[in-house]
């Protein structure tokens, strides 16, 4: 399993990684069941996760306890509540497994040690931040301007694998539309 993480890092940074084994040894392997809570809103985020297998949901509850999905993250990607992880402050989001997952996790102290002692690891962190920011901005900009039907078409074009992996309720939450509207519009396509 560690080879998957090794390949992910070397594909992004090249093979010139003197301390790669030290970096990899800082991660712990975690195997989860479906619907396991990895982070609760209000608790400090203690880990950054790399997804080997499975799918994670990043979501929030509003003041009326309605759930809104901010992101769905699948294999070969990183997941964390970065503001909380970096500051140690309470998280504003929740993270849970949508499917049984296999993850690698690195805790905050180990992550900080890697950042301070291994220059290449800083590049990994910057890539995580950039990807998270770009994904959030793109999704916000696209979804603000798209109709509900166009959001479904967007999903079918750019993330079609989610349609076969996730429930209609979760997909509707991700797209920011009512699940009944989602089902009705999806049937028209």
Q: Residue 89 maps to which CATH number?
A: 2.60.120.10
What values do phi and psi take at 160, rounded to 5? -65, -25
**Which residue range is the domain that position 105 belongs to?**
1-119
Q: Judge whether 155 lies within some domain.
A: no
Give this prediction's pTM: 0.90
Q: Judge whether 136 lies within some domain.
A: no
Whether the pLDDT of residue 142 is over 80: the answer is no
Q: Percent of the chain, pLDDT > 70?
A: 98
Q: Judge whether 71 lies within some domain.
A: yes
The 10s digit of each residue's pLDDT in 46-94 is 999 999 999 999 999 888 888 889 899 999 999 999 899 999 999 999 9
Q: Please give the Cα distance from 14 to 62 (Å, whole number).
A: 42
In which band, very low, low, confident or very high, does the pLDDT at 16 lie, cut at 50, 70 and 90?
low
Average pLDDT, the chain: 90
Q: Please give the Cα distance from 48 to 78 (Å, whole number).
A: 7
Q: Judge whether 151 lies within some domain.
A: no
CB 174 within 8 A of CB 55: no
Which has the closest alpha carbon to 111: 127, 99, 94, 125? 125
Q: Judge whether 103 lies within some domain.
A: yes
Q: Judge whether 56 lies within some domain.
A: yes
Q: Please give the Cα distance from 158 to 91 (Å, whole number).
A: 29
Q: Judge whether 48 lies within some domain.
A: yes
Residue 174 corresponds to which tokens in the numbers above? Answer: 């991700």
Question: What Cα–Cα distance (Å) separates residue 89 from each residue in 58, 68, 79, 92?
Answer: 17, 21, 17, 9
> In a 10 Å sphere around its CB, with 0-12 CB exposed, 13-18 middle and 19+ buried, how is residue 113 labelled?
middle
Residue partners of 87: CB distance under 8 A and separation at least 6: none
Total domain count for the chain?
A: 1
Q: Judge whether 80 lies within some domain.
A: yes
Residue in the block written with tokens 């003197």? 18
Predicted local confidence at residue 166, as pLDDT: 95
């Amino acid at each position: 399993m560690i080879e998957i993480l090794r390949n992910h890092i070397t594909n992004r940074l090249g093979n010139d990684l003197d301390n790669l084994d030290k970096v990899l040894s800082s991660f712990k392997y975690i195997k989860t069941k479906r619907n396991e809570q990895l982070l609760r809103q209000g608790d400090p985020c203690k880990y950054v996760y790399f997804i080997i297998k499975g799918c994670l949901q990043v979501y929030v509850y509003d003041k009326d306890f309605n759930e809104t999905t901010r992101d769905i993250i699948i294999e070969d990607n990183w997941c964390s509540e970065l503001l909380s992880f970096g500051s140690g402050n309470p998280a504003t989001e929740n993270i849970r497994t949508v499917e049984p997952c296999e993850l690698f996790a690195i805790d905050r102290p180990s992550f900080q040690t890697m950042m301070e002692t291994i220059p290449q690891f800083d590049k990994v962190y910057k890539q995580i931040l950039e990807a998270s920011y770009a994904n959030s901005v793109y999704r916000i900009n696209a979804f603000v301007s798209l109709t509900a039907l166009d959001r479904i078409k967007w999903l079918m074009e750019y993330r079609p694998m989610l349609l076969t992996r996730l429930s209609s309720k979760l997909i509707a939450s991700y797209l920011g539309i009512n699940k009944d509207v989602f089902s009705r519009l999806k049937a028209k396509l």
